[in-house]
């Protein structure tokens, strides 16, 4: 039934006025080309000339239901079953007729991205119109305006809309990822994940973690998960991210060190440490902080440990903050010395220094206050900054904190005094307090 046939049929409508026929012809053609041959629409056209409005409503609604079912099948039956949870799993088109009500069909179509939010609302209204005037013969007779409103909404939100993109099948997609032929195209991957409804994103994120911590995983799949996981993570809800954090907490409790290490790699990969609870973070971070504290001036160890602690630096538990800040400050400042091998007098871990500067850039008010206390009270730092090179290095860290512009008034005044090269003597003689006790 092409557009020409529609118009010719409308011209034959002898029992409605010319103006009414014009309105019908204007609305009826606003459908996709392949829908124009739908037998339900042909039936609606047959009854409209004799004002069979009840039958027209029923026939048009059947066309809408058929189109929604076809789109769901194209989009993802698996996803529809997950969202709607029908009494019987929908496998074939015929299963919709026996096991899915129109109400559930519309809601399911919305949840998997076949209908828009507005389309869902309007289709429920059309469903009520159909139930009232076609399902209940004793209701009042619908007028042409009622029919045209239904036709207009059904066309706009369903019959004129193209089929949505099909959803990736998770099993198939993971199999594809376990291959050297998987294309690491960031735009394509982002599009594939963005189109996923929330229930699929939740499932896929959990499958990524489960697969990544498994011992039986190929290097291809592991590498492809490392590429894909951060892209998926950016589109997850906060609740999904919390769930992954809780799964890692459970790994900590289970004490399988290999799985903990792989799980930690995954958490760092997606930058998900903020969703790991405080107890788990302390179990992971405290040994690293302690080792860094005890490895002062061992440059190789300092370099390794600073890199290891960097992903956690924004999530250090409060009770570990003083030791952490003291350790990285000492490491950065270094010491003054001499060597027959090196033409330098200032010694520190070259590879650890840039990472420490990055960590200082993310200091909050509490961390800045702790830094100030450390400079005032730590005998080792106080002794080392008597050397000009070490004082200059401490000033580099202090200037980073000044640039943050969030320090408390007292800390800001102290740091400004520390950084003022013209008042160096005054800083040492009047600003710095006398050391009251000796610490390590």
What is the rounded distance in angstroms from the CA atom of residue 301 to the CA atom of residue 281? Answer: 21
Residue 346 is predicted with a pLDDT of 84
- 314-343: average pLDDT: 88
Q: What is the pTM of this model?
A: 0.66
* 281 in a structural domain: no
pLDDT of residue 44: 85
- DSSP characters for 89-116? ---SHHHHHHH--HHHHHHHHHHTTSS-
Residues 113 and 180 in one domain: no
Same domain, 78 and 147: yes
Confidence category of residue 377, pLDDT binned at 50, 70, 90: very high
pLDDT of residue 10: 43
Length of the chain: 440
| Chain position carrying tokens 């909050």 | 364
Instruction: Establish if 178 belongs to a structural domain.
Output: yes
On whether the CB atoms of residues 184 and 163 are closer than 8 A, the answer is: no
Place of tokens 């376990």: 178
- The CATH number of residue 384's host domain is 1.25.40
If asked whether residues 144 and 224 sit together in one domain, one would say no
Residues 208, 153 share a domain: no
Average pLDDT over residues 235-258: 94
**Domain edge (last residue) among 117, 132, 159:** 159
Over residues 385-399, the mean pLDDT reads: 95
**437 pLDDT higher than 60:** no
Q: Both 182 and 153 in a single domain?
A: no
In this structure, the answer to whether residues 131 and 209 fall within a common structural domain is no
pLDDT higher than 70, residue 319:
yes
Q: What is the pLDDT of residues 274-311, one digit of tens each?
A: 999 999 999 999 999 999 999 999 999 999 999 999 98
Spatial CA neighbour of 199 closest among 81, 92, 120? 81
Nearest CA-CA partner of 178 in 226, 218, 211, 229: 218
* Domain count of the fold of the chain: 3
Q: How far apart are CA 202 and CA 244, in angstroms?
A: 9
- 45 plus 17 within the same structural domain: yes
Q: Domain ends where: 132, 159, 186?
A: 159
Q: How confident is the model at residue 12 (pLDDT cuts 50, 70, 90)?
A: very low
**259 shares its domain with 314:** no
The yes-or-no verdict on residue 166 having pLDDT over 70 is yes
- Which residues form the domain of 355? 287-440
pLDDT of residue 135: 63
> Where among 253, 276, 299 does a domain terminate?
276
Tell me, yes or no, whether 292 and 440 share the same domain.
Answer: yes
Q: What's the whole-number average pLDDT of the chain? A: 88
Q: Is residue 226 part of a domain?
A: yes
Please tell me the distance from the alpha carbon of residue 405 to that of residue 417, in angstroms, as a whole number: 15
The pLDDT of residue 266 is above 90: yes
Q: Within a domain: residue 139?
A: yes
Same domain, 293 and 437: yes
Same domain flag for 202 and 323 = no
> How is residue 296 written in tokens?
């002062």
Q: Is 67 within a domain?
A: yes
Q: CA 91 to CA 96: how far, in whole Å?
A: 9
Q: Are residues 267 and 291 in the same domain?
A: no
Asked whether residue 282 is domain-assigned, the answer is: no
């Amino acid at each position: 039934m092409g557009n020409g046939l529609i118009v010719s049929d409308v011209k034959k409508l002898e029992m409605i006025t010319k103006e009414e026929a014009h309105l019908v012809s204007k609305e009826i053609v606003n459908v996709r080309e392949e829908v124009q041959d739908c037998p339900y629409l042909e039936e609606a056209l047959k009854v409209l000339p004799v004002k069979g409005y009840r039958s027209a409503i029923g026939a048009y609604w059947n066309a809408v239901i058929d189109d929604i079912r076809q789109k769901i099948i194209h989009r993802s039956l698996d996803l529809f079953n997950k969202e709607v949870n029908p009494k019987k799993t929908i496998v074939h088109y015929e299963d919709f007729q026996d096991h899915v009500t129109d109400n559930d069909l519309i809601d399911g179509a919305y949840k998997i991205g076949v209908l828009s939010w507005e389309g869902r609302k309007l289709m429920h209204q059309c469903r009520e119109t159909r139930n009232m005037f076609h399902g209940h013969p004793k209701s009042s007779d619908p007028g042409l305006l009622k029919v045209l409103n239904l036709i207009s909404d059904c066309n706009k939100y369903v019959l004129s809309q193209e089929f949505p993109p099909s959803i990736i099948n998770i099993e198939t997609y993971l199999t594809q990822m376990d291959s050297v032929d998987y294309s690491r195209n960031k735009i394509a991957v982002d599009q594939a994940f963005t189109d996923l409804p929330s229930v699929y994103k939740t499932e896929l994120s959990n499958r990524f973690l489960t697969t990544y911590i498994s011992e039986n995983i190929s290097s291809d799949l592991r590498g492809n998960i490392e590429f894909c996981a951060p892209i998926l993570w950016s589109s997850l809800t906060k609740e999904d991210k919390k769930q992954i954090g809780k799964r890692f907490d459970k790994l900590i409790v289970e004490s399988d060190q290999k799985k903990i290490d792989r799980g930690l790699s995954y958490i760092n990969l997606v930058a998900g440490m903020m969703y790991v609870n405080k107890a788990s973070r302390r179990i992971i971070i405290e040994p690293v902080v302690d080792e860094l504290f005890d490895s002062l001036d061992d440059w190789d160890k300092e370099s390794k440990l600073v890199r290891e602690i960097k992903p956690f630096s924004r999530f250090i538990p409060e009770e570990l903050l003083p030791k952490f800040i003291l350790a990285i400050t000492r490491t950065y400042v270094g010491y003054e010395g001499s060597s027959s091998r090196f033409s330098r007098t200032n010694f520190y871990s070259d590879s650890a220094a840039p990472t420490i500067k990055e960590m200082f850039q993310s200091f909050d008010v509490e961390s800045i206050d702790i830094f100030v206390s450390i400079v005032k009270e730590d005998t080792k730092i106080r002794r080392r900054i008597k050397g000009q090179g070490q004082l200059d290095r401490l000033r580099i860290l202090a200037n980073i904190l000044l640039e943050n512009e969030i320090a408390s008034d007292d800390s800001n005044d102290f740091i400004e005094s520390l950084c003022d090269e013209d008042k160096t003597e005054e800083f040492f003689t009047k600003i710095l307090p006398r050391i009251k006790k000796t610490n390590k």
